[in-house]
Amino acid sequence: MPAGSVISPHDFAESTLFSPLEGCGTVFAEEAAAMNIIGTIIIGFIIGAIAKLLMPGKDPGGWIISILLGLAGSALAGWLGSAMGWYAPGEPAGFIFSVVGAVILLFAYRALTKRKV
For 45-89, how does the pLDDT look when each residue is reduced to its tens digit (9 = 90+)? 888 888 888 888 777 677 788 888 888 888 888 888 888 888 887
Give which of 108, 112, 116, 106 is closest to 47, Cα–Cα: 106
**Boundaries of every domain in the chain:** 22-113
Give the residue-averaged pLDDT of 22-41.
Answer: 67
Q: What percent of the chain has pLDDT over 70?
A: 67
In angstroms, the Cα distances linking 19 to 1, 6, 25, 74, 79 are: 19, 19, 12, 36, 38
**pLDDT at residue 38, as a whole number:** 80
